[in-house]
Amino acid sequence: MNTNNKDEPEVIYTYTRKQAIEDGILVPVGFIGNQSVVITANLFKEGYEDEQKRKDLVNRGLELLRQPDSEDTPYMKLRAISKDKIWVIWNGEGFTYMKPEDY
């Protein structure tokens, strides 16, 4: 029996960031303060093995995340770094860089 509020969906299963890293779906690339930065393996294989290219991507994402957006919440922000090609998402777990199809 679901004892949750009717407006809240019941969580059946969650796939954690740690599990995604262990499974090779996410590649850890560092930290910004105490927040981890990961890139999906799919995006990583597109030349982001190169440290400078990766740093440039991370910095561009951070610049965009600093700009306010009406759809931001205190818990999540999403920005398109390159329309229909690369996204960055910030949430309580850190920063995730991905291709839209990886979402």
As a whole number, mean pLDDT of residues 90-96 equals 95
The CA angle 35-36-38, to the nearest 5 degrees, is 145
The pLDDT tens digits for 18-74 are 999 999 999 999 999 999 999 999 999 999 999 999 999 999 999 999 999 999 999
How many angstroms separate the CA atoms of 57 and 60, rounded?
Answer: 5
Burial annotation 7-31 (CB, 10 A radius, 16+ → b, else e): eeeeeeeeeebeebeeeebbbebee
Residue 3 has pLDDT above 80, yes or no: no
Residue 9 has pLDDT above 90, yes or no: no
Quick one: tokens of 38? 């990961």
